Chains A and B, each alone.
Chain A
């Protein structure tokens, strides 16, 4: 490592307070739904009530006639590209002649009050001819098939276990709804203040749809109330911009919670068939698997989701013979795309359930069977890729297994399944323990040109050295603003660091997704700081920086940092890339597709009221290798939060679909874990440096979401003896 040993407080490896935290606790932080402009109008969206229909006509007369309405726009008013998309440009800005899912935007309205806008939207008359809806993935049109073949496809084994598993449609359920403010600019462009995960990919899509050059569509990150993948795709960005350009006034759009369920993509539901063959002493001989993902009406990031499911689909195990087919299909269900751990989450539930099944077929302890197959550094993935860097799969498993057992219940009613509902005093309550371990790729894969840009400026402010870090990276809650400042402090030995608001006036940072941003934007900030440092040292022929002084090779003080900067600020902009990845062979699925792998393990302890089917998770123990905990407090926060989302998928979270219609678009009916549902979590953080990443760090955000689901379900299985092949597990699966 080439960091300076300047010993400034708040550098890499410490947990300084979030720079945005003071504003957040006082209620003064401006989220994207808090924006306001003089003379601003409100936008509203009319959405399709049908999962599939032809549009014979749209009559906006009654909407336009409503006092207070300034614009009613349909696809005809979209001046540029009529469609957008992350990977495949297939999603209409506003429906053109056909709607393909319930909730698809058909028209948008601007009015002087949000209620007026909603009422006007309700007055638009759309003549629909309802068409049959495809709501089963297996009946849909194929969007991508990712095969993986390694070893002998006809391998046989002494012990064979098979299973079919299903994962329901999970929602990211961030708390801050889709929202933003579009302000028309004098140059005919638009300034958009928006909550997103990737400003530049939004900019490109919005500019294309508006028929404007990118420089006329300027995006600034507004406060983001959580993301988890749901802000990778556009929601109201083009709509608000269209309305603003059309009316010449600022337009604010804020989805309500129900609309939010229709406003973003969800986690792909999956049906998965697995066959595991092993020797009598528990060594895996082969895995055959077929994964079918429901992509919904538009592609979103489906192709990458299918690739993850395929390439990570046998888990962190050494398996010589693999036949894997992961496919994603278009249907008339809501579009599915990115959600924390995508592709890997679904597969992990299946392969970990299989490992438990194998353990029971062999009469082995579930952790033991995993240990006998655990991959390690140098292991070969089914894609042929060799796992470089630490792969402490066995270590993680042993750590969660050896943690002290969960405490016995205190007898407090509130700690029973059913809690304060007073459904049991302990009768019918059975405890169970389960394990799970998962694998996730970090950053973008399959040859994608994945980079991040950082601009770093070192200057004197009030006579003191100060650093300004400017990137377009989206702070979505994870603490990236803190981490960027920490890196600058460590690299430049300057305590005073300001992180500028992210916007498109600096180059792309890539997305705040795929657990990549500390790695990528962190890497870019570090590289830009190093460039600044080199320029600084070159000014006076210094060799290094220490304690605010420029030193010579021999350690003699050449100059004060402040005096060197006194000759003028130093600013450097760097585009930084991770090592290249490569496409998968379309037939064999062979290829070095991923740049880094990350691992986490969970042990869950549950109490189940087996008569009522109610589950209370008593404790979670988790261990994760993060390479380097750049900010230990934030790392724990990611692990806690990710674990909670995995627990939610195990026990409660599902968008319930009936014939393409969403039945539960509310927090009344779509349940996410409350503080009563979450148990105490014990987190064991390993720091085994990756030689190729900045500071040795490993992406942190997704792995905890992946293995917590199978661990919780395994614990419920242990308590109930039920097969439980579908998540979320419902009470009727337990008592049925």
Chain B
């Protein structure tokens, strides 16, 4: 099938998409946007988080066809700003495999709430697994992004 959607503000088209493909696969393998990650492809880790029509979703759980006509924003489409810089400065990036999903999730959290408390940050990021950091510096990064 042919898939049409807006990705990072641009109209994109993918051809020969097999019906079983996920939005994540289309982004990564057909549209040249491997920034969204594939840590589980089971909806459990949040590494594939993208915005779809303004709402964060796990791209691995979205069938490609469901993205038809929708507006998708991936980590590559989020302007390098306070969230990304805070992750770097706080030491919240180790292997970085969780980072793109977290950047999108934190970007969304801060858009909704400019001053989240620690329990609110934890709740908002509960769906994003990180195996390297123990999350301490991810919390630091969110607090730092809030200050900026």
Contacts and interface: CB of A to CB of B under 8 A. Distances in A.
B40 A637 contact: no
A510 interface: no
Nearest to B120: A414
A113 B18 contact: yes
Contact of B133 (A27, A637, A676): A637
Nearest to A478: B94
B76 interface: yes
A477 interface: yes
A681 B75 contact: no
Contact of A674 (B37, B47, B88, B126): B126
Residue of B21, B88, B97, B103 ringed by the most chain A CB atoms within 10 A: B97
Contacts of A34: 28, 34
B35 interface: yes
Interface string A48-79: 00000000000000000000000000000000
Interface in B13-66: 18, 20-21, 28-29, 32-42, 44-45, 47
A673 B130 CA distance: 8
A36 B25 CA distance: 13
A680 B33 CA distance: 35
Interface in A628-653: 633-634, 636-637, 640-645
Residue of A415, A636, A674 ringed by the most chain B CB atoms within 10 A: A674
B139 interface: yes
A20 B137 CA distance: 17
Contacts of B80: 22, 25-26
Contacts, number: 181
Nearest to A252: B29
A641 B132 CA distance: 5
B88 A18 contact: yes
A477 B94 contact: yes
Given A175-B37, A640-B133, A641-B134, A26 B94 contact: no
B125 interface: yes
A254 B87 CA distance: 27
A681 B39 contact: no
Interface in B89-132: 89, 91, 93-100, 103, 119, 121-123, 125-132
B122 to A, nearest CB: 5
A28 interface: yes
Contacts of B121: 675
Given A29-B96, A113-B18, A667-B129, A676 B136 contact: no
A94 B33 CA distance: 34
Contacts of A226: 94-95, 97, 131-132
A257 B123 contact: no
Contacts of A257: 39-42, 44
A17 B97 contact: no
B131 A174 contact: yes
Contacts of A24: 93, 96, 99
A36 B29 CA distance: 8
A673 B126 CA distance: 10
Contacts of B126: 674-676
B84 A25 contact: yes
Contacts of A176: 37, 39, 95, 97
B40 A667 contact: yes
Given A25-B84, A176-B95, A257-B42, A676 B123 contact: yes
Contact of A31 (B97, B130, B136): B97
A540 interface: no
B138 A675 contact: yes
Contacts of A637: 91, 94, 132-133, 137
Nearest to B20: A115
Given A643-B134, A668-B42, A175 B129 contact: yes
B36 A27 contact: yes
Given A21-B93, A674-B126, A175 B98 contact: yes
A172 B34 CA distance: 24
B88 A17 contact: yes
A412 interface: yes
Interface residues of A, number: 64
Contacts of A645: 131
Contacts of A412: 119
B136 A27 contact: no
Contact of A224 (B21, B88, B95): B95
A40 to B, nearest CB: 10
A98 to B, nearest CB: 31
A120 to B, nearest CB: 14
Contact of B128 (A223, A225, A415, A675): A675
A27 B74 contact: yes
Contacts of B99: 24-25, 27
A678 B94 CA distance: 17
Nearest to B104: A27
A29 to B, nearest CB: 6
Contact of A477 (B18, B47, B119, B132): B132
A157 to B, nearest CB: 39
B95 A225 contact: yes
Residue of A31, A113, A173, A641 ringed by the most chain B CB atoms within 10 A: A641
A228 interface: yes
Contact of A678 (B18, B37, B93, B135): B135
Contacts of A27: 33-36, 74-76, 99-100, 103
A675 B76 contact: no
Contacts of A22: 80, 88
A476 interface: yes
A477 B131 CA distance: 10
Contact of A20 (B21, B37, B96): B96
17 contacts: A17-B89, A26-B76, A27-B76, A29-B96, A33-B34, A34-B34, A115-B21, A174-B97, A176-B39, A257-B40, A634-B91, A637-B94, A642-B134, A644-B135, A666-B40, A667-B40, A675-B125
Interface of B: 18, 20-21, 28-29, 32-42, 44-45, 47, 74-76, 80, 84-85, 87-89, 91, 93-100, 103, 119, 121-123, 125-139
> Which 7 A-B pairs rank lowest in CB-CB distance, beginning with the nearest?
A27-B35, A477-B95, A24-B96, A225-B97, A644-B134, A640-B134, A27-B75
Interface of A: 15, 17-18, 20-22, 24-31, 33-34, 36, 113, 115, 172-177, 223-228, 254, 256-258, 412, 414-415, 420, 476-479, 633-634, 636-637, 640-645, 666-668, 672-676, 678, 680-681
Given A256-B41, A479-B94, 5 more contacts: A175-B97, A254-B38, A642-B134, A666-B40, A678-B136
